[in-house]
């Protein structure tokens, strides 16, 4: 039996990776949209979404994921350089007092885990005041629980590595995506959100908050604060509040210095 040429094998592997990435993106978008609609007290049954709408949602959450992963990558590179490329165990064993060093290096992570309990408890007791801190706190608590629950030597030996990695990372990914959609919906529904001008087929103009563009229409927040779906057949013109805003430096934002030339160049 002849083996496949390297080019054919690489193409087959690339096709499988692309299919896997597309499947993951669709599932991630569904989780993101689930959180988005949940914040508005809506369900998938109440919003006429199509498969393409969920695929388009990846354009919203992917830049955030890319920025987060990029930040983690830079932080990991910086940490590795400071620690001279040594692993955690090598750093501990090379110290004069390994047990003390282990406790010292575990201290920040333990503090983060204990501190993360406060936003979760605050959200349960008080509510949306702690919403912004809730996703990160839930992710940290899950990581701490996963390390403890799967850290027994017998579990490490008997449970496959792929299963342990999936149990360690998948729940935080789901939590992050769900609350990314949830907080985005809350931001858009806020009274301070910019208004879009929507002209209907009878040339009447309404000022609405644009929540989501869909294949079959738009999901908007009406002037009465109600959420409505308007099909494209009833929309004659849609003007979004987007405009070019010149970038401002730290001196202008923090100290209001050096803003004169910038404001003159703004349209």
Q: Residues 248, 249, 253, 259: is their CA dihedral positive or negative?
A: negative
Q: Which domains does the chain have, with CATH numbers?
A: 6-189 (no CATH), 194-267 (2.30.30)
What local confidence, expressed as pLDDT, does residue 165 receive?
Answer: 92
What local confidence, expressed as pLDDT, does residue 261 receive?
Answer: 55
> Two tokens at 214?
């869909």
φ, ψ (nearest 5 deg) of residue 228: -135, 150
**119-156, pLDDT tens digit by residue?**
999 999 998 889 999 999 999 999 999 999 998 889 88
CA distance 184 to 135: 13
Contact 228, 222 (CB under 8 A): yes
What is the residue-level pLDDT of the chain in tens, covering all 267 positions? 455 566 767 777 777 777 788 888 889 999 999 999 999 999 888 888 888 898 888 888 888 888 888 888 898 888 888 877 787 777 877 888 888 888 887 888 888 888 999 999 999 999 888 999 999 999 999 999 999 999 888 988 988 999 999 999 999 999 999 999 999 999 888 877 888 888 887 778 888 888 998 999 999 998 888 899 999 988 888 888 777 777 778 888 787 776 755 444 444
Q: What's the pTM value of the predicted model, to 2 decimals?
A: 0.81
What local confidence, expressed as pLDDT, does residue 96 receive?
Answer: 83
Contact 229, 198 (CB under 8 A): no
Burial class (CB in 10 A: 0-12, 13-18, 19+), 49: buried
**236-246, pLDDT tens digit by residue?**
888 887 777 77
**What does the CA dihedral 20, 47, 61, 167 come to, rounded to 10 degrees?**
-50
What local confidence, expressed as pLDDT, does residue 40 receive?
Answer: 92
What local confidence, expressed as pLDDT, does residue 116 receive?
Answer: 92
């Amino acid at each position: 039996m002849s083996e496949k040429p390297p080019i054919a094998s690489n193409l087959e592997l690339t096709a499988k990776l692309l299919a896997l990435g597309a499947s993951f993106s669709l599932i991630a978008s569904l989780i993101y949209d689930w959180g988005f609609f949940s914040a508005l007290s809506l369900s998938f049954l109440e919003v006429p979404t199509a498969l393409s709408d969920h695929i388009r949602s990846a354009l919203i959450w992917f830049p955030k994921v890319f920025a987060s992963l990029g930040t983690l990558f830079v932080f990991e590179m910086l940490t590795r350089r400071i620690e001279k490329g040594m692993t955690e165990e090598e750093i501990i064993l090379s110290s004069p007092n390994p047990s003390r060093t282990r406790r010292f290096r575990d201290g920040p992570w333990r503090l983060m885990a204990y501190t993360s309990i406060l936003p979760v408890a605050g959200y349960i007791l008080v509510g949306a005041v702690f919403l912004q801190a809730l996703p990160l706190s839930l992710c940290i608590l899950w990581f701490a629980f996963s390390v403890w629950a799967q850290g027994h030597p017998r579990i490490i030996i008997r449970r496959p590595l792929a299963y342990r990695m999936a149990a360690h990372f998948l729940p935080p990914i789901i939590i992050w995506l769900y609350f990314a959609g949830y907080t985005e919906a809350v931001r858009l529904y806020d009274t301070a959100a910019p208004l879009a001008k929507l002209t209907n087929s009878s040339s009447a103009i309404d000022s609405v908050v644009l929540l989501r563009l869909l294949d079959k229409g738009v999901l908007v927040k009406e002037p009465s604060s109600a959420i409505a779906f308007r099909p494209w057949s009833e929309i004659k013109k849609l003007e979004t509040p987007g405009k070019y805003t010149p970038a401002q430096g730290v001196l202008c934002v923090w100290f209001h210095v050096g803003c004169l030339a910038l404001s003159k160049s703004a349209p």
